[in-house]
A and B are shown apart, each in its own frame.
Chain A
Amino acid sequence: MPRNEQLALPGFDDWQAAYDKQLPDGKTVRNRSGIEVQPMYTPADWDGNQYEDKLGYPGTAPFTRGIYPTMHRGRTWSQRQLIGLGIPKQYNERLHRMLKAGTSAISMIPCNSIYRGLDADQCDPLILGTCGTIINTVDDMETCLDGIPIDEISTALNDPLPFTMLAQVLTVAERRQIPWTKISGTANQSDYISHFVANHMFYRLALPGSRRVLLDHIEFAREKVPNWNPMSVVGQHMQQAGATPAEAMAFTLSTAIQNTEDCLSRGMDLEDVLTRFTFFFDISVSFFEEVAKFRAGRRIWARIVRDRFGISSEKAQRFKFHGQTSGVDLTRQQPLNNIARVTAQAIAGIFGGLQSLHTDSFDEVLSTPTEDAARIAIATQNILREEAHLTDVIDPLGGSYYIERLTDQMEEEIVALMEKIDDLGGMYKAVESGWVQGKIGASAMAFQDRITHGDETIVGVNAYQVDSEVELPVKPLDRPAPEDIEAFIENLAKYKRNRDQDAVDRALDDLGDIANDNKRNTFEGVVNASRAGATQSETIAVLRAELGFGQPLVVA
C-alpha cells in the first residue's frame, strides 16, 4: 500500500525539507530483498486501523504477532544446537556435556558420508567424522543415545530421506521398551527440494523417488509416531546458497504448498498433518528485514492453509519455525567479530517469533565448531533471554511503522514470487526445470557484486580491515583420531559378521518389493531393515536401485 496522505501529520513536510537540505545526496537504500527502505516511517506509512485485520493477537490468525498466546513469556525457545563429530561415543559424551550446559533438546548431524548414503567402509577414512558423527547401524545410534532419556526430551535429526536415522531411533526405542508414542522431535530438513536446489547435501535419491519416500515417511509418522514432526520445510539452504530473504521465504512456502497438495492427493487428513508441519530458516544479519520476513511468512501461511486448503483449524495454520543464524554472514577476518553478528542475527530471530534457535559458533568459518566457541554460542542465547530481557514483551517491534510497512512489503514480494511458481506448475516443476536454481544463483552473484563494489559493507572484508589479527583464544579443532576411525571401521566389519545375515537379506529383499509397490510404505521397510541389522548404506542402495538416483541438476 502506498503512502497514505490522509494519514500524514502536520510537520512532515518540514521534516522532509530539513532532511533533504542536510542530506542532499542521500543514497537510495535497499534491503537484501531489493525493497527500498525510507529514512523514516510515520503513521502515513502504516494505517493503524488495519490492526485487527493484519496483526490481531498472538495465538490467533493471522498470527503476525506470533503463533502462541504467551509466546516467549510462556515458553521460550528450544536451544537446539547442532552437534555431531567423530564416532558415536564422542557424540554421546559431547551431548551429555551440552545438556548439562543448558541445551534443552537433542540435535544430531551425521557425517557427510551418511548424506551420500555411504558406510564407513566405502569412504576415504581421512574425511570420516570430520563434519558429523558416523552412524551406520542401529548399534551406532544406541551408543549415540546412551543414557539420554529419548522419551523425555525431543530429538531433531538431520536425517536425509529415506530417514534411516529415525528408523534407527525407533529401533533403539524398541530395544529400551519405550513406546513410539513417546518419541518426539523433528525430521530436520526432511524437505528434499531445498537440498536439491541449494546444496545437494541430502541427495540420496532422484526427485520422483524422493517425493514418494517423503510422503511415505509422513504417512507412517502420523499413524505410528504421533509426536514426531515428519515435515520440516526448509528455506535455510536456499538463503545460504544466495536466495534473498524474500525469495527464501517464497520458495519455502511454495514447497510447503507442494507438500500439502501431495499429502492431499495421498488422501491424508490435512488438518491432522498440517499441525505437524514445521519450517526451518536462515536468519541473516539484515536485522529488520529478517523480522519482517518471519512476520510476513506467518501471515501468508495462515492464509494459505485457511483459504487455499480450506482448513479452518487455527492449530493447523500455525507457522512453527526453527531458525539458524546465517553462517554465510560470518567472516574469517577478525573472527571474534562473528559473536556480534550472531547476536544481531539471534535477536532478529527472537523478535521474529521463532520456536527454536541454533546460534552459530564464531569459529564456524574457520572449522567445525570448537567446544569453547559452541559454549559462547549457547551463552549468547542465555544472555539475550535472561539479561537483556528480550522475552518480556511479545512481538516487541509490532506496531513500529517501519516494521509493519516492511512486513507488508515483504509479503507483497513473497506472494508475487509464489504466484510465479504457481504459474510454472508448482514448486516441483519449478525445480525440475531449474528455474528456482537459476534465481538463487543470480541472487548469489548479485550479492557478491555488491560486496565487490562496496555497496554492501562487510567489516574486516571490504572495510575496517586490520593489519594484525587478534590471536584466537581457542585452538583449531583436532581431527578425529585415525585410530578411532580405524576402530570404527573394524567394528562395522565385526557387526556385519555377527548379525543374522539371512534376516538382513530378507528385510532388504522386502524393501525392494515395497519400492516396486506404490501401495506399500517404503518407511515401513526402512524400519524393518534397521531392526534386522542392515546398515544405512545397504538400505539406501536398495532404494536407489529401485527408485533411481541420477545426478544433481547443476544450473550455471
Chain B
Amino acid sequence: MSEVTNLVRPAKVLVTKIGLDGHDRGSRIVAAALRDAGLEVVYTAPWQEIPTVAKLALEEDVDVIGVSSLATDHLLVPKLMKELHKAGLDYVKVIVGGIVPDNEEQDLLDAGVARVFHPGADMADIVGTVQSLAGEAQNDAARQL
C-alpha cells in the first residue's frame, strides 16, 4: 500500500451490498466502526443494483466503496468495477468484506479491487485501510481533474 496521504477533506465511504443476499450484520458493524472513527459514511440497504451504486458514489462524492458479501455476491464486483470506470470513477477505491473463497480473491484484485477483508479481520485494520485509501482516492481524483 502506498504511503498514507493527508486527506484534503474528511474521508467519505459508501457501505453497501449488491446482488441477492440480505445478511447485513457485517456491513452494519463496519459502517458503525468507520463512523465512530470520524469518517463520513453513506449506508444503503442490501440488494443494490450495480448502476445504482455507481450513481450513488458519484452523487455522494465518495472516496471509497465497501461492498459486503456473505453469499457469493462478490462475483458481481468485477461488473461494479466496470460500471465505475464507465462513470469516470476510476479514482474511487473499492474494498470487499465477507466470505470470499481463496481461489476467487485474485479475480477481484485483478478487476481493480484494492483489498479483500475476510471474517475475523481486525477492525482497526479496516478503518486504517479505508482512511489511507480515501487519501489515495482524493489524490487520484485531483490528478484526474
Contacts and interface: CB of A to CB of B under 8 A. Distances in A.
A complexed with B: yes
Interface residues of A, number: 43
B43 to A, nearest CB: 7
A556 B28 contact: yes
A476 B76 contact: no
Given A365-B119, A368-B72, A113 B20 contact: yes
Contact of B43 (A203, A367, A476, A556): A556
Contacts of A544: none
Given A199-B22, A199-B24, A240-B25, A452 B123 contact: yes
A200 B75 CA distance: 20
B72 to A, nearest CB: 4
Contacts of B22: 115, 195, 199-201, 203, 552
B111 interface: no
Contacts of A112: 19-21, 71-72
Interface in A227-270: 240-242
A127 B119 contact: no
Nearest to B123: A452
Given A112-B21, A240-B25, A552 B101 contact: no
Interface string A437-458: 0000100110010001000001
A331 interface: yes
A330 B33 CA distance: 22
A113 B71 CA distance: 11
A203 B22 CA distance: 9
Given A115-B20, A367-B101, A552-B22, A130 B29 contact: no
Interface string B93-111: 0000001011110000000
A199 B45 CA distance: 11
Contacts of A476: 101-104
Contacts of B76: 124, 126-127
Interface in A109-145: 112-113, 115-116, 118, 123-124, 126-127, 130-131
Interface residues of B, number: 33
Interface in B1-48: 19-25, 28-29, 31-33, 43, 45-47
Nearest to A449: B123
Nearest to B102: A476
A461 interface: yes
Nearest to B72: A130
B75 A367 contact: no
Contacts of A242: 25
A452 B45 CA distance: 26
A200 B20 CA distance: 10
B90 interface: no
A33 interface: no
B46 A127 contact: no
B83 interface: no
A127 B43 contact: no
Interface in A94-110: none
B47 to A, nearest CB: 7
B118 interface: yes
Given A126-B76, A127-B76, A556 B24 contact: no
B120 A332 contact: yes
Contacts of B104: 476
Nearest to A118: B20
Given A116-B47, A118-B20, 7 more contacts: A116-B20, A200-B22, A200-B46, A241-B23, A445-B32, A448-B123, A556-B28
14 contacts: A115-B20, A131-B20, A131-B21, A131-B72, A199-B25, A201-B22, A332-B120, A365-B99, A445-B32, A448-B123, A477-B101, A554-B43, A556-B32, A556-B43
